[in-house]
Amino acid sequence: MKKIPDKEILLFKSCLVNVEYPGVESSTKYLFDKLGIEYIVSERQSCCTGLGHYADLFDQFSTTALAARNFGIAKEEGHKNIATLCATCYAILKKSCNILNDKDDIREQINKILDGSGCHELNYDADDMDSRENIFHSVEILYNKADEIKDLVKVDLSGLRVASHHACHYCKVHHKDTIGNARDPMVIETLAKACGVETVDWYDRKTTTCGNGFRQRYMNKDLSFSVTAEKLNSLKENDVDILLHMCPNCQMQFDRNQESIGKSVGTEFGIVCLNISQFVALALGADPYKVVGVQTHTVPVDKVLGKIKQTNLCQ
């Protein structure tokens, strides 16, 4: 298995985490602090371009140039292990890193552009970063600490039935670097089990896309929703209470659209959507509103909050 760092980490901010589920960032920071993981956040870091890139708006060259700039910032700030909060940032950065290492002409052109844009100090030399050794999803950093997490659990969340949605851009794009089996990664399940919770290890359509499909959600909504509905139906058949995520775009697809899809197929799903970092933070006793940020969710998180209340009454 690849070696996962626990220091010199740049926690890479995500556009959709910023404004849709900021609790994912605050939960991850809460857990990193509890687990003694050394990290920084940089105000200079730009977004990865992901939503625009996969809507075919951003070209590969521009995306790679901006990645080079962000890699330069990570190096300059002495934290060149990048941990993303979003699966698409993870895929985009790894791809850009491979291009910068493999294609001398592209790297030179990009360095020239950085020079001419007042960013000479951010130039990229071949193999400055390694996509396997320096670029991670933040959930991988947590997975590496699953045993320590076990000892820190304060809230009994057992009795809730959880399933995972591992995000295609984590497990399929750079599938040789995915922890576990790329066709059925168990990263999220391992973390949920560390919190003492039963998981639905396999369900029909487990590895299917969330259905967002970038342009599809906006331009081709019926197609997008029919894929999401397949998965929601399977989760319902498996009596799932909570669907655990590692990508804010997937989380939006299942959380924000759930009621609308439910109405169109005549089912009330009531499936709570949480990022795995939010779930683990709740199990470790983090405040639902001041750390986990449940106030930005569309499907109410009441099922989980009820459990926390019970634990508090028992103490």
Partner 1 sequence: MNTLKIDENSFELAEDIIKDLKASKDLGILKCIQCGMCTSVCPAARHTDYDPREIVKRVLDKDETLILDDILWNCFYCYTCHSVCPVNNSVCEITQILRQKAIDNGKGKPKVAPFSAYGESFLEFGLGSIPSNFFDDLIKDFGKEWLELKINIEDIREDLNLGSMFLPKKDVDDINKILEKTGFKNRLNKLRRCRDEENTR
Please tell me the distance from the alpha carbon of residue 58 to that of residue 51, in angstroms, as a whole number.
9
Nearest Cα neighbor of 201 from 193, 211, 212, 213 is 193
- Residue closer to partner 1 by CB (options 62, 238) is 62
Q: How far is the CB of 286 from partner 1 (least distance, A)?
A: 11
Q: What is the CA radius of gyration of the chain?
A: 20
Q: Considering the complex, what minimum distance in angstroms separates the CB of residue 192 from partner 1?
A: 23
Between 144 and 224, CB nearer to partner 1? 224
Tokens 């609790």 belong to residue: 23
The encoded tokens of residue 284 equal 């470790």
Indicate the residue among 197 and 217 with the shorter CB distance to partner 1: 217
Query: Dihedral sign, CA of 153, 154, 156, 160?
Result: negative
Given the complex with partner 1, which of 51 and 243 has the nearer CB atom?
Answer: 51
Of residues 144 and 228, the one with the C-beta less far from partner 1: 228
Strand order in the sheet with 81-84: 39-40, 9-12, 81-84, 135-137
14-27: string of b/e by CB count within 10 Å (b at 16+)? bbbbeebbbbbbbb
Q: Tell me the closest approach of the beta carbon of residue 202 to partner 1, in angstroms.
A: 16
Rounded to the nearest whole angstrom, what is the least distance from the CB of residue 247 to partner 1 in the complex? 12
CB of 44 to partner 1, least distance (A): 5
- In angstroms, give the least distance from the CB of 281 to partner 1: 11
Nearer to partner 1, 197 or 273 (CB): 273
Nearer to partner 1, 113 or 153 (CB): 113
CB of 271 to partner 1, least distance (A): 16
